[in-house]
Structure 1
């Protein structure tokens, strides 16, 4: 069974006039139990922030959740600043 690829998205929201400097990271990572995890990390740029892990039985389910969070963040004025995908 091939190892699933890791997808990693970095979003930022900055507005000097309102002292806003935030980041949001979304990544898809395989678990030890043949599931996929959507890992979300967030906080102020330059500081430690929070994180949350959501487990999904399939890569399709995890990808759908990632796309939902991406749309949500883009609506809130975050912009995509980095992305990577490792081939399987």
Structure 2
């Protein structure tokens, strides 16, 4: 079984004006039966968050789902943690 070469995605969305500090994480893990699972983890930064696991029979399906979800989150304003701008104290 070949899993697509997709690195885990760890994204943040921080908006001080709305008191918003969220994270979203996507990873792909192989299953014991030749498929692959897409593991999503999201929530407020500093919390454990929630987890959802989706299992796919075909590796190309999990790759398409990964890319689709990552693009959707980036359109909503999520960025890589190094690119977040946190409000500076005055």
1:20-59 alignment, distance < 5 Å: 20-59=20-59
Q: Aligned pair 1:68/2:68, yes or no?
A: yes
Structure 1: tracts of 5 or more residues without a match: 83-88
Over aligned residues, Cα RMSD in angstroms? 1.8
SS in 2 for 1:60: helix
CA deviation after TM superposition for structure 1 residue 17, in Å: 1.2
CA deviation after TM superposition for structure 1 residue 80, in Å: 2.4
SS in 1 for 2:33: coil
SS in 2 for 1:46: coil
**Equivalent-residue separation in structure 2 for 1:56 and 1:34 (angstroms):** 9
> What is the total number of aligned residue pairs between the two structures?
81
More RCO (CA 8 Å, sep 6+): 1
TM-score with structure 1 length normalisation? Answer: 0.83
CA deviation after TM superposition for structure 1 residue 65, in Å: 0.1
Structure of greater Rg? 2
Alignment CA distance shift 1:77-1:6 (3 Å): closer
Q: Indicate conservation of the 8 Å contact 1:38/1:54, yes or no.
A: yes
| Structure 1 stretches of 4+ moved >4 Å | 3-6
Q: Which structure features the higher share of strand residues? A: 1
